[in-house]
Structure 1
Amino acid sequence: MFQILKARQAIDFMRWSKFAFVFSGLMIAASLFTISTKWFNWGLDFTGGTLIEVSFEQPANLPVLREALAKDGFADATVQNFGSAHDVMVRMRPREGTKGEVVGNQVLESLKKGSGDQVELKRIEFVGPNVGGELAEAGGLAILISLLCILMYVSMRFEWRLSAGAVLALAHDVTITLGVFSFLQIEIDLTIVAALLTVVGYSLNDTIVVFDRIRENFRKIRNSEPWEVMNHSITQTLSRTLITSGTTLFVVIALFTQGGANIHGFALALLLGITVGTYSSIYVASALALKLGLTREHLMPVQIEKEGADQDTMMP
C-alpha cells in the first residue's frame, strides 16, 4: 500500500462505493431494527436506583445470590460479576418510600445470609429517579446541540453536497455504534454519552481533512473525472488517516483490554466509533457527495467582476 502511495497512483476507492452503500444500508437497518425491538440497557445514571459493589472471599455463586435476594423482596435486582469471579455488582430500580441507605443495608445483609461468606462492601451509589431523568434529558440535549452546531459549521465551510455527506456520515457512525450497544445490551451511562460525543468530533475531523483535499484537487486537476479526483484526494490523505486512526486505536484497545470494567463501555464506544468513522469518511461522506452530483464547477470560487471592467473592454 505504501509503495502505491509513493508512486502517486490513486487507489480506486470509488470502484467499491456501490457495495459500500449496500453494506452501510444493511448495517443501519439492522441497528435501527435492534434499537426498536431491544431498546437500550440504561444505566443507573439515567434510570435512578441503587448500585452496590461487593467482594467475596470465595468465587460468588450468582444463582444462589439471586435466589437469596428474591426471598428478601429484591426479585428485580440485577446481579452480575464485576471484574472478577469474587466481585459482584447489584443494581436495583428506585423504591418509593424507602431511602437508598436502608435498601443498601438490606441487600448487603441478604447477600451475607445467602452466600454464607464474608462480604466486603466496595461501593454503594444512590441516584434518585428525578436526577436520572434530568441526566438523560441533558445527555440527549448535548448530542443534539453538538450535531446542530456541526451542521451549521459544515454548511458554512463546504458546498452543500459535501455538507450533506459529512452530516449523514456522522449519523451513520452514531447509529451503528448505538445499534451494537443495543444488540449486546451493554449498559449505557454518562461515560457512553461522552464517548459518542468524542466519536462525533473525531469522525468530523477526519472527514474535513479529506474534504479539504477534495476541494483543493477539484480546483487543481482540470482534466479528470470527479471520481478520479475523489480517488486522488482520498489516496493522498490515506497515510495521514491510517497513522492517526492506528495510533488512536492502539490506546483505545489498551483501555478496552486493560482498563477494567469501569471504562469498558467507554472504550468499546470509542473502538467502534473510530473504526466506523474512518470507513465512513471515505465510503459514506465522500462517495455520497459524488452520488449527489458533485462537479468541479460546484467548488470553484465565485469570481467577482471589478468595477469598471465593462468600460475598460469598450475602450479602443
Structure 2
Amino acid sequence: MSKLGNLGARLYRGDVGYDFVGKRKIWYGISILITITAFVAVMVRGLHMGIEFEGGAVFNTPKTSVSAATAEEIAEEASGHQAIAQRLGNDTLRIQISGVDTDKSDHIKSKLAKELDVKADDINADLVGPSWGDQIANKAWQGLAIFMILVVIYLAIAFEWRMAVAALIALIHDITITVGVYALVGFEVTPGTVIGLLTILGYSLYDTVVVFDSLKEQSKDLTKQTRFTYSEVANRSINSTLVRSINTTVVALLPVAGLLFIGGGFLGAGMLNDISLSLFVGLAAGAYSSIFIATPLVADLKETDPQMKALKKRVLAKRRAAAAKGESEEAPARDADATEDGEDGDDTAPAVVGPRSGPRAQPVRNRGRGRPSGKRR
C-alpha cells in the first residue's frame, strides 16, 4: 500500500507518468471496435426484455420439490413462450413468462398445478399488460434523456462546452457497451437494469469530473507560458488522478462482483443478475472512458481553439530552438521565454508527463545576483 501511495504521489508531481493523450488514437480505435461489436450484438441477438416492458405473467407456486429447470419446461410447453423459473429461499418457485394474456394465464396455471402436484388456488398469478410495459419503457427513456440533458447543462456551466460534449460521448460509450454485453449474455432487462444504468452513469460522470476539475485547475493562464501544450497538461491531469480512479473503481467493483458471481452465479439468486451485471460492466466501462476517452477528447476539441493552436506553435518552436542549442527541451531557461513573443515564462507551470530521458530539470534561480558573495577575505 505504501508503494501504491508513493506511486500516486509521484504521478501527481509529474515525476512519472504514461502518455494517455499522446496514444489517444489507439484508445479511440479500441472503443470504436467495442462499440461496433455491441451494436452488432444488439441487432443480431436482441435484448431479452422482462415482462415489465413486454407484458406477461408471473406465477408464484407453493413449496414444491420440482426443480426450476423442470418447471421451465412445463411452463414453456403450456404457454408456447420462453419461461424463466427461479427457486426461492423457502423452496417455492417463481415462474415468469412473457407475452401471456389472461385466458392463456388460466390454462398455464392449471397445467402447472397438475404437473407440480399442487392446488391451482395455491398458485398466485400476477399479470402485466403490454400497454403498462410500454409506459415503463417510455419512462425509462425519458429519465435517461433528462439525465443526459442535465449533465450537459451542468458541465457546460461548471467547466465549458467542450468538456460537456466529451462527457456526453463518454456516457453514450458506457451505455452502448453495457447494453451490448446484455445482448451477448442474454440476461433479462428489467427496471433493475435501468436503475443500474443510471447508477453507473452517475459514477462514470463522477470519475470524469474529477479529472476535468484537475485539468481546469492546471490549465489556468496556460497561454501565458510557452513550456507546455494543452494536451500535455491534460495528460498530467489524468496521471495525477490515476491512482484515485483505480482505487475507487476497484473498491466499487468488489461488492458488485460478489453480487454477480457469488449471489447470482454460485448461490443461484438470478434476480440479482439484472442489476449486478449492469453495475459491473458499467463501472469498468466508466473508469475506462474517463481516462482513455473523455479527457483525450477534451484535448482534441480544445486544441482546435485558435489560442491553443498558437500556444502549441510557440511551444514547439521554442523546443526546436532549445534542441538546436543543446538545451533541455523540458525546462528551457526563463530568458528564452522573455525574448520570444515578448512573453514571460511561467516557472510554476505543470510538468510534462510522458517518457523521460533523465531527471527533471529545475527552474533557474538567480539568488544573490548583484550581491556580494558574503565571503570574507
Q: Do both share a fold (TM > 0.5)?
A: yes
Shift of residue 60, structure 1, vs aligned partner: 2.3
Unmatched runs of 5 consecutive residues or more in structure 2: 309-377
Secondary structure, in 3 states, of the residue corresponding to 2:100?
A: coil
Shift of residue 277, structure 1, vs aligned partner: 0.2
Alignment of 1:71-220 (within 5 A): 72=78, 74-82=79-87, 87=93, 89-95=95-101, 98=102, 103=105, 106-115=107-116, 124-219=125-220
Q: How many equivalent residue pairs? A: 291
**Does residue 49 in structure 1 map to residue 60 in structure 2?**
no
**Does residue 277 in structure 1 map to residue 286 in structure 2?**
yes
Instruction: Give the structure with higher Rg (CA).
Output: 2
Secondary structure, in 3 states, of the residue corresponding to 1:51?
A: strand
Matched AA of 2:73 = R
Shift of residue 252, structure 1, vs aligned partner: 1.6
Residues 43 and 234 of structure 1: CA distance in aligned 2, closer, same or farther (over 3 Å): same
Q: Return the alpha-carbon distance in structure 2 between the equivalents of residues 20 and 119 of structure 1.
A: 58
Q: Return the alpha-carbon distance in structure 1 between the equivalents of residues 152 and 231 of structure 2.
A: 25
Task: Confirm or deny: 8 A CA contact 1:218 1:296 kept in the other structure.
Answer: no
Structure richer in strand, relative to its length: 1
Task: Confirm or deny: 8 A CA contact 2:62 2:118 kept in the other structure.
Answer: no
Moved more, 275-284 or 178-187: 178-187
Q: Return the alpha-carbon distance in structure 2 between the equivalents of residues 237 and 65 of structure 1.
A: 49
**TM-score where L is the length of structure 1:** 0.80
**Does residue 230 in structure 1 map to residue 231 in structure 2?**
no
Q: Return the alpha-carbon distance in structure 2 between the equivalents of residues 181 and 280 of structure 1.
A: 19
**Does residue 4 in structure 1 map to residue 13 in structure 2?**
no
Q: Return the alpha-carbon distance in structure 1 between the equivalents of residues 164 and 111 of structure 2.
A: 57
**TM-score where L is the length of structure 2:** 0.68
Equivalent of 1:248, from 233, 248, 252? 252
Q: Return the alpha-carbon distance in structure 2 between the equivalents of residues 213 and 252 of structure 1.
A: 28
Moved more, 49-58 or 211-220: 49-58
Shift of residue 176, structure 1, vs aligned partner: 0.6
Task: Confirm or deny: 8 A CA contact 1:249 1:271 kept in the other structure.
Answer: yes
Structure richer in helix, relative to its length: 1
Unmatched runs of 5 consecutive residues or more in structure 1: 299-316
Shift of residue 166, structure 1, vs aligned partner: 0.8
Q: Return the alpha-carbon distance in structure 2 between the equivalents of residues 78 and 69 of structure 1.
A: 6
- Identical positions, percent: 25
